[in-house]
Amino acid sequence: MTAPLLVASGLHKRFSRGGKTVVALDNVSFEIGQGETLALVGPSGSGKSTVARTILRLIEPDAGNIHFEGEDFLAQHGARLRAGRAKLQMVFQDPLAAFNPRATVARVLDDPLRIHDLADRAHRPKIIASLLDRVGLSPNLRDRAIHEISGGQRQRVAIARALATKPALMVLDEAVSALDVSVRGQILELLLDLQEAENIAYLFISHDLGVVRSIAHRVAIMDAGRIVETGPAAEVVANPKSAIGKALVAATPKLLRKA
């Protein structure tokens, strides 16, 4: 195997709110390979989203290192950091909150193309149409406002926006949790197809072990800011070793039923 795409080591983060300190990340280390899906599961408040936002430099860790494509990602600032963000994209849980309420579909997809100078003005409409096509949306949606389209369509637009800069890693923070079950299946299919076609790695954050088993290669279980267990997805789901892993599996009744 070649060098991993992303190496996070010894990440620490504390938040202090109203005099109380909460340890959100406590010595978190993990790796993600090219084209690999690492699922991060854990109960609410275990620090999953903090990991996601730290990897994306939306939150600065107190200590630790992040190496992305062999470079020290935490050492990048200003214009270099903004340019580097093209390779590391994110899809948020609530697709409505993740877009400017005034935006249209076309503007949302135009922004990354313009910011990273991926196409000149004349060619952008063509690229926007092909991005919509790749996530299974009609190009006719381009002039619609974000609030006019359905939740499933919105999440597809979010994925198209993340795809626009040809990322190597996409962080999916509970990206399918807010969608209803039938739409969730379609979006997961789409993500698997994209991974196969583009060799994109995913950091897939979820609390749904059923979804995790179907999409992830490896699973890391988090509890109280620490990674307590890592391993191949099928193995961890079938036979969790940590207490919290057992509790999470037990909380998913259909997985316990032996066929």
Which residues bind to another protein, rule: CB under 8 A?
A: 53, 56, 58, 82-83, 85-86, 88-90, 92, 94, 97-102, 111-112, 115-116, 158, 161, 164-165
Nearer to another protein, 77 or 258 (CB): 77
| CA diameter of the chain | 58
Q: How many CB atoms are located within 10 Å of the residue 200 CB? A: 22
CA distance 86 to 173: 18
Minimum distance, C-beta of residue 29 to another protein, in the bound complex (Å): 23
91 in helix, strand or coil? strand
Q: Are 209 and 41 in contact (CB under 8 A)?
A: yes
Nearer to another protein, 38 or 108 (CB): 108
Cβ within 8 Å of residue 42, ≥6 positions away: 48, 207, 221, 222, 223, 244, 248
Minimum distance, C-beta of residue 150 to another protein, in the bound complex (Å): 16
Nearer to another protein, 89 or 153 (CB): 89
Q: Which helix (H) or strand (E) holds 68?
A: strand 63-68
Minimum distance, C-beta of residue 78 to another protein, in the bound complex (Å): 10
Nearer to another protein, 31 or 111 (CB): 111
Q: Are 204 and 215 in contact (CB under 8 A)?
A: yes
Nearer to another protein, 87 or 226 (CB): 87
Pairing of strands 226-232, 218-223: antiparallel
Minimum distance, C-beta of residue 165 to another protein, in the bound complex (Å): 7
Minimum distance, C-beta of residue 90 to another protein, in the bound complex (Å): 5
